[in-house]
Structure 1
Amino acid sequence: MQFRGTLGIVALVVSVPLPGAIASSEVVAASTSPLSQLFAQWRQFAVPPDATVPDYGPAAVGQRLSALKRWQKRLAALDRTGWSKAERIDAQLIAAEMAGMEFELRVLRPWARDPGFYANIWAEQSDVPGHEGPNAPVIDLFRFDYPLSPADAGRLGALLRTVPPMLAQARQTLKDGNARDLWAYAGRALHEQSDNLAQLEAGTLAMRTLEGTKTGTLAGASGATLIPAVRAARAATDAFAAWVAAEAPSKTGPSGVGKADYDWAMRNVHLLPYDWQAQETLLQRELDRAHASLRLEEVRNRDLPPLDPVNDPAAYRRLSVERARRFSDFLVRIGMVPDRPYNHAAIAAQTVPYTPPAQRNFFSQVTARDPLPLYSHFYHWIDLARLKHDPNPDPIRQGPLLFNIWMERSEGFATAVEEIAMQAGLYDDLPRGRELVWIMLANRAARGLASLHVQANQMTLAEAGAFHERWTPRGWAEAKSDLVGFEQLLYLRQPGYGSSYVTGKLQFDHLLARLSDRAQAEGRPFDAAEALQAMTRPGIIPVALIEDEMLAAPR
């Protein structure tokens, strides 16, 4: 079964003429419409206020679910007479967010099932629009400027002081939880949180951001006032982690949501045209295709010298800087991104550092040989630069959608760019690099396929890691590595995330084919690079809605 064709016709803002394009005046009108007003009020309800300890008790959750039903009725009751295309797409996005909350309240219930939900202090900026997975209200350390001003020190202190009471409450909220793998693997994020707080106090916390790496420190009078709050949050985190570890062996229940609820979330929250069964078929096909393509590339390159890792740190740094420049210049040259300073800077700021051989995980095995394939996936940072420097004029699409609704667009397009850039000529003088692209696709398909079986309760996380390792070429994804453990746990915590890299990519393949077909039927030339650029203009929203917008106008 597939869900394709169940979505309404929509349209979004674009900066060049496209089928179904809307005028900027429609966006201005929409910004003061009843729909936009409802959106602003909805977000106030949906996003907990800062510096508070949310109540995750059964009574509070029940009240929130009842209130949600009233919000859904309000949205459905809006008079849609004369609505613009922009308003129709916005209404679907708000409905998806409401469905996301329903799924979280009714099925996922992370506050009651998942101890990792409470690891809410984040050091680095994520490379996607919002934080991956369900989390208690997040405290983003990277958002502060260091040394801290008195105002920022006060704000951070107020946020950190919510951690001990929240973790105390969590012991009660989680007391009946029985999801074995969610308990068994939760310690990873909690220990990382404790380490980040220790490094913050020591002044050694390195944090990745869109602009590059910044260092978190409590140096200075303002920061010094935070020390008690930092230490209390760390002590509470360590005590909570110890409690989780002690309780975990008694947990025996399944952790996946099951196929029926998985399908409901894909259809109603993520607006994805593929259910669990379709995703399994598609990911298996991509896994097979990646392995077959890799082996044929090896035949093609059989007379070339092997692509050995670069084990000299200085030589690697030079290579990494050169490859970052090559990638951003290539995207501009072929017309896939506009020649804006922030697009070049977004990639340059993410230069991949050298990793010693003994410390290499899957991605550093790839980058040790050539960082270029991973830079292709770093298209993520161009997305984030656009959000900051050239935001969508529609306020409903300016920031990240809630409940990871952006995942197919964000992860899918970044994954698609890896192969798109290769096919467009990025490796014409680097043929061995093509092998790395296929290895990365095989890895993404293998881990996504494993995650599907975990959600269906057909595999444990340990079994998923073994599958992930077995079907990643050259043995570069070790089941016991921190990376594989982190990935499989995330994909368990957020249904659909593990498969989104491939399902999103496939939707963009499909859309490119349909746009090409339309151009041919209309007897006009087709520019694939411009079409790909146009796909990003509507915003970081479900791909099915981008497709509906771009193909909305009749032939």
Structure 2
Amino acid sequence: MPRNGQSAVPAMGKGDRPMRLTSLATLAILLAAPGSVALAQTAPAAAAPQPAGPPNGTGFYADFETLFARFNAWKTPKAVNGIVDYSPQTVARRRAELAEFQAQLPGFAVARWDRHQQVDYLAVRAQMDLADFTLNITKPWARDPGMYVDELQRLAYTDLPLKPDQSEAFKARIRAIPAYLAQARINLDSVAADYADLAIHSLSNGDGVGHGMPYRAVEPAGLIGWFADLRARAATQQPDLLPDIDAAQAAIAGFRDWLVAGRPKMTAAAGVGKPAYDWFLHHVRLMPYDSDEIVTLAERELERHWSNYATERHRNRKLPELQLPTSGEEYEAQLAGTDAKIRAWLRDEDIITIPDYIPGTYQAVGFNAPWVVRPKGPMFWEQVQFRDASPDHLHATFPGHRFDGMTGARVTHPIRRHISDSGRTEGWGFYLEEQALQLGLFDDRPRTRELIYIFGLFRAARTIGDVKMQRNEMTVGEAMAFWKEWTPYLDDDVARVDAGIYIRRPPGYGMTYTIGAMQLQKMLVDRRRQLGDAFRIKDFHDYLMNTGRLPVSLLRYDLTGLDDEVGKLWAHVPLAKAMATDGSGGTARSAR
């Protein structure tokens, strides 16, 4: 949940409510935000198939680090006035440049490297596969009008009056909006139906959640409302901006009208389809499971969390229900007490090391949910957070995402410090919730245990919806309805925002909460069985904080040396080759 304008240390992902889609410039890091049709797209140059085991070339690890440094610098295209060029010529050039990076991978002597260096190789190969998938399958610049909406909405949050050193850059970006949206209409030649509906909604409606937005007592009505908010502030604080803001507003309204008029023809599926999704799970997410197995695991977790929730409700039937606070002061006192209790518990029970550089207050670390009074009442996250801040504080603040982000920023490894996999980050946040329950944090708060189970069953339901949306077995609306059917307190706004996040981000983001946590639990079991009574959970957690946020399958190999999962990851089918068939032996149809 966002902090609605309150200062916070930047999070690696804001709790269970990731920020609105990353900025256009950040999206352009991989040209990534999911949404495509079939596995078949305009095929890139085919990379050479790699052997089933580690490559046995001649290249040195030091040269591999250099290759990654070059790739890491390349993956963020240069923006002019905040605008990235998505023209066909530029996209074709980037495809060719990526192919040159990928062609160098088989030439390294990975078979003779130690396992930690082999982990780095697989992590880098996955990053290149992600870029490949985005350039050739998801193509958000062509399929997702929301990509353009997101960047402009952040621009509308700009504080006024501008500082002298901000003025020219801001004016240049505002003035670029009409041409930017005119080009967007050209680029958006294969818009998915769900993407169109989400973009139209976000242009004219507030999301009711407030991901990454400044606080307003009355939420502005979408991007159009936020630019009206910007104009109203400019009228009193910086009137010289008004002509440019007026032109931008007209362009935004025209873009909305263009989408509404064209919506009947925007019928493409938003998901990537099952063959592409399974390829992505293996090659990019480095998962030991395919999508069918993930659905099976999630269905079991949904049943387990619901059973625990129902049982806990029976156990607590004679206890008073947790009540919502009646004031901001009451809530903030609860939040301060939660933070102090969790910190003391982490220290006293030897759960994790709290480094000296971690700030001593939750305000300095950052937190998710400020006190907000909404016309329709608290939304889902507030229904939980306001009753007891502990579940989300663990996940999003301490020792979850913000703590994780601070420790991750201290990783000095030249490769690992630049990679952040959501199976590790969101898996860690979710893992903490049930681990805290198992480790006794809520022994004296039985009703809070119910909230832990609500979070767990929602994550499991979202996993099912995430997979089925990407496999085009559910629409956004169907996923929302499924989640609401299974999740206490869930409202339309949170369901819509989450569905939009998971169908638009690189495939599988929504499933990484549940599956990532399960992978971490498996990794803990492996380490405990290796070390026996010498195992210390604090050491296990410290390893995770200090090693880099790589896919959990790689961390498991890195820590334990167990290669049963990693051994299967060496078999690499280049995307171009996978695109040549539809997964059933037939030739896939061509798609733009």
Contact 1:35 1:87 in 2 (8 A): no
User: Which residue identity does 1:247 align to in structure 2?
Assistant: G
Distance verdict in 2 for CA 1:408–1:224, change over 3 Å: farther
Distance verdict in 2 for CA 1:195–1:542, change over 3 Å: farther
d(CA) in 2 for partners of 1:43, 1:232: 37
Q: How does 1:439-450 map to 2 (within 5 A)?
A: 439-450=454-465
Alpha-carbon displacement from aligned partner over 1:145-168 (angstroms, at most 9, x marks no partner)? 987543333344444444433321
Distance verdict in 2 for CA 1:502–1:218, change over 3 Å: farther
Alignment partner, residue 280 of structure 1: 295
Partner SS, residue 104 of structure 2: helix
| TM-score with structure 1 setting the length | 0.79
Alignment partner, residue 482 of structure 1: 493
Alpha-carbon displacement from aligned partner over 1:521-547 (angstroms, at most 9, x marks no partner)? xxx422223312222221122111111
Alignment partner, residue 364 of structure 1: 382
Partner SS, residue 288 of structure 2: coil
d(CA) in 1 for partners of 2:423, 2:267: 32
Contact 1:324 1:351 in 2 (8 A): no
How many Å apart are 1:119 and its aligned residue?
Answer: 2.4
Contact 2:110 2:121 in 1 (8 A): no
d(CA) in 2 for partners of 1:528, 1:219: 57
How many Å apart are 1:73 and its aligned residue?
Answer: 0.7
Partner SS, residue 356 of structure 1: coil
| TM-score with structure 2 setting the length | 0.74
d(CA) in 1 for partners of 2:161, 2:443: 46
Distance verdict in 2 for CA 1:140–1:88, change over 3 Å: farther
d(CA) in 1 for partners of 2:527, 2:165: 51
d(CA) in 1 for partners of 2:525, 2:472: 35
Of 237, 241, 245, which residue of structure 1 is paired with 2:252? 237
Contact 1:107 1:257 in 2 (8 A): yes
1:121 aligns with 2:136: no
Q: How does 1:512-551 map to 2 (within 5 A)?
A: 512-520=524-532, 524-551=533-560
1:50 aligns with 2:91: no
Of 381, 386, 391, which residue of structure 1 is paired with 2:402? 381
Alignment partner, residue 180 of structure 1: 193
Distance verdict in 2 for CA 1:106–1:512, change over 3 Å: same
How many Å apart are 1:279 and its aligned residue?
Answer: 0.8
How many Å apart are 1:436 and its aligned residue?
Answer: 0.4
Alignment partner, residue 338 of structure 2: 323
Q: How does 1:491-530 map to 2 (within 5 A)?
A: 491-494=502-505, 495-520=507-532, 524-530=533-539
Distance verdict in 2 for CA 1:327–1:96, change over 3 Å: same
> How many residues align structurally?
483
Contact 1:336 1:529 in 2 (8 A): yes
Distance verdict in 2 for CA 1:201–1:331, change over 3 Å: farther
d(CA) in 2 for partners of 1:332, 1:153: 47
d(CA) in 2 for partners of 1:341, 1:219: 41
Partner SS, residue 119 of structure 1: helix
Partner SS, residue 382 of structure 1: helix
d(CA) in 2 for partners of 1:387, 1:46: 21
d(CA) in 2 for partners of 1:502, 1:262: 17
Partner SS, residue 532 of structure 1: helix
User: Which residue identity does 1:482 align to in structure 2?
Assistant: D
Contact 1:512 1:532 in 2 (8 A): no
d(CA) in 2 for partners of 1:324, 1:218: 41
How many Å apart are 1:230 and its aligned residue?
Answer: 5.0
How many Å apart are 1:393 and its aligned residue?
Answer: 0.8
User: Which residue identity does 1:97 align to in structure 2?
Assistant: Q
Of 277, 283, 295, which residue of structure 2 is paired with 1:262? 277
How many Å apart are 1:314 and its aligned residue?
Answer: 2.8
Distance verdict in 2 for CA 1:530–1:64, change over 3 Å: same
Of 423, 445, 458, which residue of structure 1 is paired with 2:438? 423
Distance verdict in 2 for CA 1:513–1:79, change over 3 Å: closer
Alpha-carbon displacement from aligned partner over 1:283-326 (angstroms, at most 9, x marks no partner)? 11110110001111122222322222223333222212222332
d(CA) in 2 for partners of 1:178, 1:201: 30
Partner SS, residue 547 of structure 2: coil
d(CA) in 2 for partners of 1:34, 1:326: 48
Of 101, 120, 123, which residue of structure 2 is paired with 1:90? 120
Distance verdict in 2 for CA 1:297–1:507, change over 3 Å: same
Of 442, 450, 475, which residue of structure 2 is paired with 1:460? 475
1:352 aligns with 2:369: yes
Partner SS, residue 354 of structure 2: coil
**Unaligned 5+ residue runs, structure 1?**
1-5, 10-28, 125-138, 204-216
Distance verdict in 2 for CA 1:250–1:307, change over 3 Å: same
d(CA) in 2 for partners of 1:256, 1:36: 34
1:342 aligns with 2:358: yes
Alpha-carbon displacement from aligned partner over 1:320-370 (angstroms, at most 9, x marks no partner)? 222233223333333324243525445653163224373311111112321
d(CA) in 2 for partners of 1:351, 1:276: 31
Q: How does 1:186-225 map to 2 (within 5 A)?
A: 186-191=199-204, 192-200=222-230, 202=232
**Unaligned 5+ residue runs, structure 2?**
1-51, 205-221, 564-592
How many Å apart are 1:455 and its aligned residue?
Answer: 1.4
User: Which residue identity does 1:386 align to in structure 2?
Assistant: T
How many Å apart are 1:508 and its aligned residue?
Answer: 0.5
Contact 1:266 1:496 in 2 (8 A): yes
Alignment partner, residue 312 of structure 2: 297
d(CA) in 1 for partners of 2:144, 2:182: 15
d(CA) in 2 for partners of 1:97, 1:77: 17
Contact 2:556 2:562 in 1 (8 A): no
d(CA) in 2 for partners of 1:259, 1:140: 38
Range that drifts further, 249-258 or 58-67:
58-67
How many Å apart are 1:239 and its aligned residue?
Answer: 2.5
User: Which residue identity does 2:138 align to in structure 1?
Assistant: L
Contact 2:119 2:557 in 1 (8 A): no
Alpha-carbon displacement from aligned partner over 1:96-131 (angstroms, at most 9, x marks no partner)? 11101111122111111111121242778xxxxxxx
Greater relative contact order (Cα 8 A, min sep 6): structure 1 or 2? 2
